[in-house]
A and B are shown apart, each in its own frame.
Chain A
Amino acid sequence: MELKKLILPASLLVLLIILMVLFFGSQGKEKTPDVSSADLLEEERSGEEELDTKKIVLFFISEDDYLLHKEEREILNGSILENQIERLVKELISGSEEGLLSPFPPETKVRGIYITRDGIVYIDFSPEFQTAHPSGSSAEISSIFSIVNSIAYNFKSIKRVFILVNGTEQETLAGHIDLRRPFLPRYDLISD
């Protein structure tokens, strides 16, 4: 009889302890990114639930007018912005489905994606982006603004795009266009 009386408060106490552990534990976890003073924050990427999909708009250059044209895709949705941007870039690498110019050498890989607090996304490409690039101003311009406009159009929190190759800043993509500054999207390059 007495034992039964004790069970309820005891189990409540246990429950309380569990809740407290959970609460403080999760708070500690959330704090980690804030504490980091590094400019580039890399969030934890594992364990994300990827169930639904979302529509995105990609921009590819047309050889007819040399302007950017829209092409719709579906990518997996998710809460981590870096992962979504990576999916978008992979779609760009896989190229246009409507005969527009694909901005990347197909063997290009994404090495990493980082977002700073002031809305600059750093995209680190494998060396093939440069070594297999056809070179020439037009090819470089179409590569860069295909990426920059696609990202800025779909992810409004991204203001600028900084392109890295093999983990480092490059002077130019393939001899012409300056890569040492982040790019703003060029709305004047979009076809109406």
Chain B
Amino acid sequence: MIFLVLTVIQGLLLSQESPSIQLSVRDYSDYSRVFLESSKPLSISTERSGLYILVRVRAGDPFQINKGDFQSSRVDSIEWGRGSDYYIFTIKMAHKDLLCRPSISRDSSTVLIDITSSPETFKEDNHNGSHYDANSFSKEPANGSMQEGLKTIVIDPGHGGLETGAEGRYGTKEKTITLEIALKLKAIIERNLPYRVQLTREEDVDVSLEKRAAIANNYKAFVFISIHANGSYRKTAQGSETFFLSLNATDEETRRLAYMENNSTDLESIQSDNVDDIKLILWDMAQSSYIRQSSRLAEKIQTKLNTLSGTLNRGVKQAPFKVLTGVACPAVLVETAFISNPREEKNLITDEFQNSIAQAVYLGLAEFLDEYINQ
């Protein structure tokens, strides 16, 4: 018996000591993201070979590798093996015309490999140089101009004025809840982070969606967070979710079909045609340059929402939100909970729940800033 207890304790100690790597895959509409998340900094190199992406992780000590089940339209499988002083991960993609882009977080503990069929997804402009490094995950220090003065984070309380948004059974209006949460969030951020916070509205007034994006851009916002409360047809829908913009331009099926119909091995011509097509669609979409940073911000916020708010996790999703399209910085829209669900509506009006939402968004934001910005 004592022996058993000892081995259990020993097991616990070992698992605490040995570093781990968590493998997972998430599908978004525009691309898929492979996560290698480690408990300690990693030294990696990556290589692309046809269908395969090889990720080599240098390792003196053994890692504990955890791989959950996943379903992905762009990733077929992930295998791993161990060499003398390294691990090698083999990511098999669904077809060879997919593009991939690996990146590593500033503290080197998280490796992200994004896989897409749309070159547009990887287009990251760095027009003015005042925002992120174009390779936002690179370990290079970010642009020096960022350190001058206080940067602005723009918080957007959804709806307002005549535009009430969704409405609950007990008469709670989305516009009221979003403003209350936004004000709490502003206070928490300004108390804890060296950023100033600008709201797109501070009272119950109409502000057009274009104006909201314009406010963000005029203040050269570093991050834009739109706060909403969700609505559905039925009162049973529940939970929190975080959205980033979908380009609505990654027509993989059409692309693949065109490829097969042409029966051509000359992929270049197809892709360059599509780039032109996509550029036309995206001419006024400032957000398209920040999709990947936005998705990372969404992931960070959603993780905190799960743990803090106690709501059902509906995950990170992509959708064509009007308010996000014109914003020229990482931007997400948080659907805090369902106002159309009477139980969540009752939660949404309490200070306690509003505070936990604000706290969760703040923590997600702080992690995002910490991971990517050299302060």
Contact = CB atoms under 8 A, between A and B. Distances in A.
Contact of B209 (A171, A184, A189): A171
Interface residues of B, number: 43
A187 B165 CA distance: 28
A62 B114 CA distance: 29
Interface of A is mostly: loop
A105 B28 CA distance: 29
B248 A137 contact: no
Interface of A: 63, 66, 101-102, 134-139, 141-142, 159, 171-172, 175-178, 180-181, 183-189, 192
Interface string B127-167: 00000000000000000000000000000001100010111
A134 B29 contact: no
Interface string B331-342: 001010011100
A66 B253 CA distance: 22
Contact of A175 (B28, B163, B248, B314): B163
Interface of B: 27-29, 71, 73, 158-159, 163, 165-167, 174, 209, 228-234, 236-237, 243, 248-254, 281, 314, 319-323, 325, 333, 335, 338-340
A185 B253 contact: yes
B254 A138 contact: no
17 contacts: A63-B232, A63-B236, A134-B231, A136-B230, A137-B335, A138-B231, A138-B338, A141-B319, A159-B251, A171-B322, A175-B159, A176-B321, A178-B248, A180-B322, A183-B320, A186-B29, A192-B71
Given A63-B237, A171-B209, A177 B322 contact: yes
A170 to B, nearest CB: 10
Given A101-B234, A139-B232, A181 B320 contact: yes
Given A63-B236, A176-B228, 10 more contacts: A101-B233, A136-B165, A136-B229, A136-B232, A137-B230, A141-B319, A177-B320, A177-B322, A188-B27, A188-B73
